[in-house]
Amino acid sequence: MQRKCMLHNYYKLRKDNLLLIFTRNPELGKCKTRLAAVIGDESALEIYEFLLARTAEITKDLKADKAVFYSKTVVDQDLWDSRDYYKKQQEGQDLGERMLNAFKWGFEQGYQKILIIGSDLYDLSSKDLDEAFETLDNNSFVVGPASDGGYYLLGMKKLKKELFQDKPWGKESVLEDTLYDLQDETVHLLEVRNDVDRYEDIKDIDVFQKFLKKTHDQ
């Protein structure tokens, strides 16, 4: 199958492995709202921009193609270098439909192994991503459980639409429901990681104290 590439993207799709990165356009008052309720909109935005930069750092040199899916508007000049990342806009009414459409697009390009991650994890590493791709050699699916009952990573070699349907996105049962859908499949579970959504997720982590201190000083 010939891989398609839109002309306005500098990045050329070329490998068998694809990493999908879901990101929210960083706008004041519109990101990390649960965190912002405690520390304020400005500090929440700064933390999210910090997490975006962290995600770019750990994925830039990954030996896979990478596609950033923006929540609202594709931005040409930002931290996602068009020479390293293909850029698209998310499509769908809810998170499940948007992820499903992203995976569909990836498989339509001819990719054999596809992972999806968000952009709100500090303790995710490039090693974790390498491991996830490697485990798909012997498994059809890979899941990275999040400590809040969701997942921070999902990977597959074949599209399974049920994973994206009838899920209470943002609730603590998402991981359990997803694993139920995968009970007849070969699945590898990665280590549990902590995604950043609430104040409790960062209040005891040193790297975030500079943002929290600014809040306390105001």
Q: What's the CATH number for 17-217?
A: 3.90.550.10
Every domain of the chain and the residues it spans: 17-217
Q: What's the predicted TM-score (pTM) here?
A: 0.90
- Residue 200: pLDDT band by 50, 70, 90 thresholds? confident
Per-residue pLDDT at 21 exceeds 60: yes
Report which of residues 1 and 127 the model is more confident about. 127
**Shortest CA distance to 194 belongs to which of 111, 124, 113, 101?**
124
**pLDDT tens-digit readout, 99-147:** 999 999 999 999 999 999 999 899 999 999 999 999 999 999 999 999 8
Paired tokens of 193: 């990681």
Q: pLDDT exceeding 70 applies to what percent of the chain?
A: 91
**pLDDT tens-digit readout, 56-87:** 999 999 999 999 999 999 998 899 999 999 99
In this prediction, residue 73 carries a pLDDT of: 93
**pLDDT tens-digit readout, 28-58:** 988 888 888 989 899 999 999 999 999 999 9
d(CA 18, CA 144): 16
Average pLDDT, the chain: 90
Strand intervals (E) in the chain: 17-23, 65-70, 86-89, 113-117, 141-145, 151-156, 187-189
